[in-house]
Amino acid sequence: MNTPAPDPLKDHQRYAKVQPLSSGSFGFVHLCKDLVTGELVAIKFLERGERVNKYVETEVLNHRMLRHPHVIEFKEVFLTPEYICICMEYASGGNLFGYVQRAVRLKEPAARWFFQQLCIGLDYCHRRGVVNRDIKLENTLLTMVPGLPLPLLKICDFGYSKAHFMSAPKSKVGTLAYMAPEVIRATDQYAGQAADIWSCGVMLYVMLFGAYPFESPHSRQQQGKARMDSMMQRILRMEWSIPADVEVSPECRDLLCKLLVGDPRHRLTMSQIQSHPWFLTNLPPDALAMNDNFLAHTDYTGVQSVDDITRVLESAAIPAPTSRYALGDEDNYEDLNAVIDDEVADEMANQRSVARPAAAGHGNGHA
């Protein structure tokens, strides 16, 4: 008989566990209830320790500065004896990966609905100085709003993000299927915004065709490194095509061909995307002005202060008594930056197909 996992919030005065949502390389996420407000929230639990703390700091500080309808809201970071806990908005509609998987592929109007929200949310992040570097279907969550025909999209997971005031991206982080050629090469610094835009192009392709643009039918039968190498070479050689058996408009084809461009200097910018005829079709009247308004009137009232976050994360560097750090096993724990880089290989070895059921344990996609 399996022993139930211990409750990470046992006896916590503010939050109570409701159920698990997902798990990943660095921790797990639970649906929880705020006992003060009655609100449902998602809490990410990461094991305490100095190396994990360095990784988390960028994520938390970047996420804190983003207050937008198409970005999952950061609420606070706090500690338990064993974990760093990142509390954020709960999106009840699951993630876009599951949504597309259930539909097999989306009709063009539905794909445009989600793509418009993705680009508006990402444009806001970029203008706030934050590049994401791991834009993908699994990292976009959905929430139903009464009166709307389709869910609202919200970007989540800023674990790989980088702000402009830090060094420019130069490491191979992200998920291979969504990775731009310049990121794969990563011999020098690359423009994070352009890499995010490439990932948006991959997302649009997957929504429309239910497949990854750079995965050949033959490579789907391969496993692990062979499959990864095949996709990587196709990305570097720019080998992709639009399926002949799926009808898409000429305007949509044009946009895709201008997003999935190997040279980032010739790829569309976010401004150019938002002036493209396909993007503008059925766009709500005030959508393009939304980001100007949010950037001009960002309200951080009630948001946990940077100083408080810094104090929490400094305390988080002290490991729990039962952690691998406190037990003297730190040398056997891989450096987290190396783990992040190596996740490219791990992700591809376990890459889920859009056309088959999602792997167990990924839940609604909070990560």
Q: Which residues lie closer than 8 Å to 318 by C-beta, 6 or more apart? A: 48
- The reported pLDDT for the residue numbered 122 is 97
pTM above 0.75, yes or no: yes
Residues assigned a catalytic role: 134
- The reported pLDDT for the residue numbered 248 is 96
Report yes or no: 95 and 179 within 8 Å, Cβ to Cβ.
no
Domain ranges of the chain: 15-90+300-333, 96-295
Residues of the chain with pLDDT > 90: what percent? 62
**Dist CA 136 CA 25 (whole Å):** 17
Instruction: Provide, for the chain, the percentages of residues in helix, strand and coil under a 3-state DSSP scheme, each rounded to the nearest 5.
Output: 40, 15, 45
- The reported pLDDT for the residue numbered 337 is 40
DSSP structure class, residue 138: G
**Dist CA 95 CA 87 (whole Å):** 18
- The reported pLDDT for the residue numbered 166 is 44
User: Which CATH class name applies to 96-295?
Assistant: mainly alpha
Min mean pLDDT across 50-54, 198-202, 297-301 is at 50-54
- The model's pLDDT over 224-255, given as tens digits with 9 standing for 90+, comes to 788 888 999 999 999 999 999 999 999 999 99
Token pair 């969504």 in the structure block, residue: 178
Predicted confidence band of residue 127 (pLDDT cuts 50, 70, 90): very high
Report yes or no: 94 and 141 within 8 Å, Cβ to Cβ.
yes
- The reported pLDDT for the residue numbered 222 is 73
Predicted confidence band of residue 212 (pLDDT cuts 50, 70, 90): very high
Domain 15-90+300-333 has CATH 3.30.200.20: yes
Strands (E), the chain: 15-23, 27-34, 40-47, 74-79, 83-89, 130-131, 140-143, 152-155, 162-163
Report yes or no: 203 and 136 within 8 Å, Cβ to Cβ.
yes
- The reported pLDDT for the residue numbered 158 is 73
Which residues face 27 on adjacent strands?
46
- The reported pLDDT for the residue numbered 56 is 82
- Who has greater pLDDT, 278 or 169? 278
- Who has greater pLDDT, 366 or 103? 103
Q: How much is the CA Rg of the chain, to the nearest whole Å?
A: 20
- The reported pLDDT for the residue numbered 347 is 46
DSSP-assigned states of every residue in 263-317: SGGGSPPHHHHTTSHHHHTT--TTHHHHHHHHHHT---TTSPPHHHHHHHHHHHT
